[in-house]
Structure 1
Amino acid sequence: MGELISEHGRTYAEEAGIQLKDAPQPLYRLLLMAVLLSARIRGSIALATVRALHEAGLRDPRRMAGADWQERVDALGRGGYRRYDERTATQLGDGAELLLERWGGDLRHLREEADGDVSALRRLLQEIPGIGPAGADIFLREVQRVWPEVAPYLDDKALSGAERLGLPKDPEKLAALAEDTEPAVLAAALVRAALDKEMAQEVQRHAG
């Protein structure tokens, strides 16, 4: 477990350049990351596109909704996100408008509506255009760092990584094995193991 965490325990938010805090802008950027990562596109491109949207000034729902469609397409293209750029540009605009209308542009209000119920939180997230079950799981795996009621959140993808590594497929047992490791860090490392068979084999070799 130590090898896994030390070598592969960087959260995806960190990799995308998001300094995650319980504040509107970083939470919105995390939501954008969840939308982009949940498409069938290389993770490195999705994370580069999170940074490109930020550099284009599309870093909160008001600015995203205020941008025209072509501005969003162009920003997605600069990140290399070309395969789904037109559909995603529409989803990002529609999602920003929904966030503004329903939650005042602040995902903390969505959290309040869920009232500590993680299943409700997952369901509410999926009402946002571009967020399906996979996107909701990505958001929740990362947001547990600042929303403690979510932890430990280890979804099917993280648990498949645990299985590949020969670890228990039980969130509580995994959290106990990881000791003082943050659940978000553990989840990110396990997801990387699920996505990268060679990496998982290397971790197992070192552990053995």
Structure 2
Amino acid sequence: MTTIDALLDEAGRTFADEAGITLSDEPAPLYRLLVLSVLLSRRVQAQLGVRACRELIDAGLGTPERMRDASWQDRIDVLARARYRSTEQTSTALGEGAQLVLDEWGGDLRRMREAAGGDAGTLQGYLTQVPRLGPVGADIFTREVQAVWPEFRPHLDARALAGAKALGLSQDPAELADQVDGDDLARLAAALVRADREEQVREDVLDD
């Protein structure tokens, strides 16, 4: 078994999947991925961001209309149940971000995809207009969305490449991408991020 095979077996679950998002090129799951990216872009444990996103979806706030229409306090209460930090600022950002998605993209991030024209830099420029979604969050979104937006493959950002380095793998995105099926690139990216963050993942993979 190669290191990459072992890595995918050990940690090859996308963060979207972990948050209960069945990702597809449709408005609702794409918006939920955007929310997840906002939550994960803060300096919090990934588990907290994933849990907060799942709580928001379970509370019925998985579309920009529902997120916008929820009260500020309702959003805070959901985030607090997930023990997410910075609940007040995040509640405000989620409401403003939902309004931006509705105003700029008609509630449908596929329009953002079309406007980006396959250029990752342009896509990230649009993404960073979303409140509390900086370059880190834009990378998270692009890493995950490449599962359904193949024109942005391969997207292996600095965090993913740090994981590759820790495992003794190539740090060239094209070389890494050549070792998996294109549909597995988002899984590989998530697994590499976990390898960077979690010593136990590195140990388990390298022991295989």
Q: TM-score, normalised by structure 1?
A: 0.95
How do 1:13-162 and structure 2 match up within 5 A?
Answer: 13-81=16-84, 83-162=85-164
Separation in structure 2 between the aligned mates of residue 40 and residue 188 of structure 1, nearest angstrom: 17
- Number of paired residues? 205
Identical columns (%): 50
Q: Deviations over 1:35-74 (max 9, x none)?
A: 1111111111111111110111111111111111101101
Offset from partner CA, 1:84-133 (integer Å, 9 cap, x none): 10000000011011111111111111111111111100111001112100
Shift of 1:180: 6.2
What 5-or-longer segments of structure 1 have no aligned partner? none
Q: Whose relative contact order is higher, 1 or 2, with alpha carbons under 8 Å and at least 6 apart?
A: 2
1:11 — aligned with what? 14
Q: CA RMSD in A?
A: 1.2
- Pick closer, same or farther for the CA change 1:179–1:143 going to 2, 3 Å: closer
Structure 1 distance, partners of 2:121, 2:169, is 25
Q: In structure 2, list runs of 5 or more residues that go unmatched.
A: none
Q: Which residue matches 2:200?
A: 198
Regions of 4+ moved over 4 Å:
none
How far, CA to CA, are the matches of 2:171 and 2:178 in structure 1?
A: 12
> Which residue in the other structure is 2:187 paired with?
185
Q: What is the alpha-carbon distance in structure 1 between the residues aligned to residue 181 and residue 61 of structure 2?
A: 38
Task: Give me the TM-score of the superposition, normalised by structure 2.
Answer: 0.95
Residue 164, structure 1, aligned to residue 157, structure 2: no
